[in-house]
Amino acid sequence: MKEKQNRVIISSKNQAICRIEENCRNCGMCKLVCNSKMGIEGYYDLEKEDDNPICINCGQCVQSCSFNAIIPKSEIPIVEKNLLDREKIVVFSIAPAVRVALGELFGLQAGVNVEKKIVTALKLLGAKYVFDITFGADLTIMEEASEFVERLKENCKLPQFTSCCPSWVQYLETFMPELKNNLSTTKSPVEMQGAVIKTYFSNVKGIDKNKIFSVAIVPCTAKKVETKAGFINGENCFGVDAVLTTTELGQLFINRGIDLRKIKNSEFDKILGRGSGAGIIFGHSGGVMEATLRTVFYLLNKINPPKSFFNLKNVEKSGAIKEGKIDLIVKKIDVAVIYGTAKAREYIIANRDNLPQFIEVMACPCGCVGGGGQLKYVAGELENIINKRIKGLKGIDNSSIIRVSYKNPEIINIYNNFLGFPLSSIAKKILHKKD
């Protein structure tokens, strides 16, 4: 049957999203978003791709569909199967943006932090350990900041583009391959978390890594694809075995009759369960830049960053493209923060010969808080809901005792006891993509 023309084409092999044919009204919203916000549909020739549609797996078509005709590809069955397997040790890790959105499903306001309720609920389901991906975000910051300092000193491979958003990485590699070397080589927080669960954590606990079933809970459909390519270099295993979106996690809780409002709080497990305020703000656009610059400042000057590096004003303005000048004492640098891959391409083309030294790009609106795997919002409510989720993350950062990654005691421990130092050979082996 000829593909209906109004909608995006989704391959049957797509590992992130799928379409429920009977729900589709051919309204065209998915195509509109894919074209105008993501810059994909309409920007390539399907015939030249041998009829394989290009998809960066961002899931914004899921969010745009009023008829629930496009949904994340569910991994609930594999997670449930492993929870029932007595041989398996099921370990969950929760990404920053999930905690300020999931409560909405249980009648709480957007932005309310339900991380401690999620820990309890996962333990009720049979999780052995529950970790916080803000730890993985702190690790990403340590590696990415060190990489940026190196590039700055050597004046090479600049601008450095962030690499934590797999949809953005895939977009750049597909549409602007000439800039591939400008991407940071650091893996995303989710992938780093998975890598250290199957190495450092399993060693410290004396657990056979093959018995661990590692589940990442994320706001993102693209992580479903990213993690399936995430074989840990030299370890013969994947860091993450399954990915649940915020929506899927909510579904799992509802299936099991768990109401988040009615359960007690629990703490994350040690040794990968603590993140700094910097790790938390990875969940919104501009947060990756701010978090990384705090550590860049420290690495360059060996003193803590001044107040101005907390709630960075010059990259704080609203809008899909923000620019700023950052004073690092030894050097002043230009930075840019962008969300939406269509805007990123537009910006890069317009500024090709004069790009800032450090550029953060996230695919989804306002970053992961508006991710394709987040709970869907009612039409017209998008801005309001997303702003509340951002406020929630900023509030956690503002009230954190530790707001810089290099002071996170669990980060200090992993470098002292396992990785050595940022960009060490072991860090490059398991936490970075090969050049």
Scan residues 212-231 and list those touching ligand SF4 (CB under 6 A).
219-220, 222
Question: What is the smallest separation between the CB atom of 28 and ligand SF4, expressed in angstroms?
Answer: 22
Of the candidate residues 263, 363, 385, 423, the single one contacting ligand SF4 (CB under 6 A): 363
Cα first-last separation, the chain: 42
Of the candidate residues 9, 17, 55, 58, the single one contacting ligand SF4 (CB under 6 A): 58
Of the candidate residues 362, 390, 419, 427, the single one contacting ligand SF4 (CB under 6 A): 362
Question: What is the smallest separation between the CB atom of 217 and ligand SF4, expressed in angstroms?
Answer: 12
- Can residue 367 be called a binding residue for ligand SF4 (CB under 6 A)? yes
Question: What is the smallest separation between the CB atom of 189 and ligand SF4, expressed in angstroms?
Answer: 9
Question: What is the smallest separation between the CB atom of 322 and ligand SF4, expressed in angstroms?
Answer: 15
> Scanning the structure block, which residue is given the tokens 């370890």?
235
Closest to ligand SF4 by CB, 373 or 422: 373
Question: What is the smallest separation between the CB atom of 63 and ligand SF4, expressed in angstroms?
Answer: 10
Question: What is the smallest separation between the CB atom of 270 and ligand SF4, expressed in angstroms?
Answer: 26
Stretch that binds ligand SF4, among 114-122, 237-245, 261-269, 356-364 (CB under 6 A): 356-364
Closest to ligand SF4 by CB, 348 or 364: 364
Question: What is the smallest separation between the CB atom of 87 and ligand SF4, expressed in angstroms?
Answer: 32
- Can residue 364 be called a binding residue for ligand SF4 (CB under 6 A)? yes
Question: What is the smallest separation between the CB atom of 218 and ligand SF4, expressed in angstroms?
Answer: 7
Stretch that binds ligand SF4, among 18-26, 227-235, 361-369, 418-426 (CB under 6 A): 361-369
- Can residue 368 be called a binding residue for ligand SF4 (CB under 6 A)? yes
- Can residue 385 be called a binding residue for ligand SF4 (CB under 6 A)? no
Stretch that binds ligand SF4, among 31-39, 66-74, 271-279, 362-370 (CB under 6 A): 362-370
- Can residue 101 be called a binding residue for ligand SF4 (CB under 6 A)? no
Tokens of 201: 């954590």
Nearest to 216, CA basis, from 128, 132, 287, 99: 132
For ligand SF4 (CB under 6 A), the number of binding residues is 13
Binding mask 154-193 for ligand SF4 (x = CB under 6 A): -----------x-x--------------------------
> Scanning the structure block, which residue is given the tokens 């702190």?
138
Question: What is the smallest separation between the CB atom of 341 and ligand SF4, expressed in angstroms?
Answer: 9
Closest to ligand SF4 by CB, 58 or 139: 58
Per-residue HEC secondary structure of the chain comes to CCCCCCCCCCCCCCCCEEECHHHCCCCCHHHHHHHHCCCCCCCCCCHHHCCCCCCCCCCHHHHHCCCCCEEECCCHHHHHHHHHCCCCEEEEEECHHHCCCHHHHHCCCCCCCCHHHHHHHHHHHCCCEEEEHHHHHHHHHHHHHHHHHHHHHHCCCCCEECCCCHHHHHHHHHHCHHHHHHECCECCHHHHHHHHHHHHHHHHHCCCHHHEEEEEEECCCCHHHHHHHCECCCCCCECCCEEEEHHHHHHHHHHCCCCHHHCCCCCCCCCCCCCCHHHHHHHCCCHHHHHHHHHHHHHHHCCCCCHHHCCCHHHCCCCCEEEEEEECCCCEEEEEEEECHHHHHHHHHHCHHHCCCEEEEECCCCHHHHCCCCCCCCCCCHHHHHHHHHHHHHHHHHHCCCCCHHHCHHHHHHHHHHHCCCCCHHHHHHHECCC
* Interface contacts to ligand SF4, rule CB under 6 A: 58, 165, 167, 219-220, 222, 362-364, 367-368, 371-372
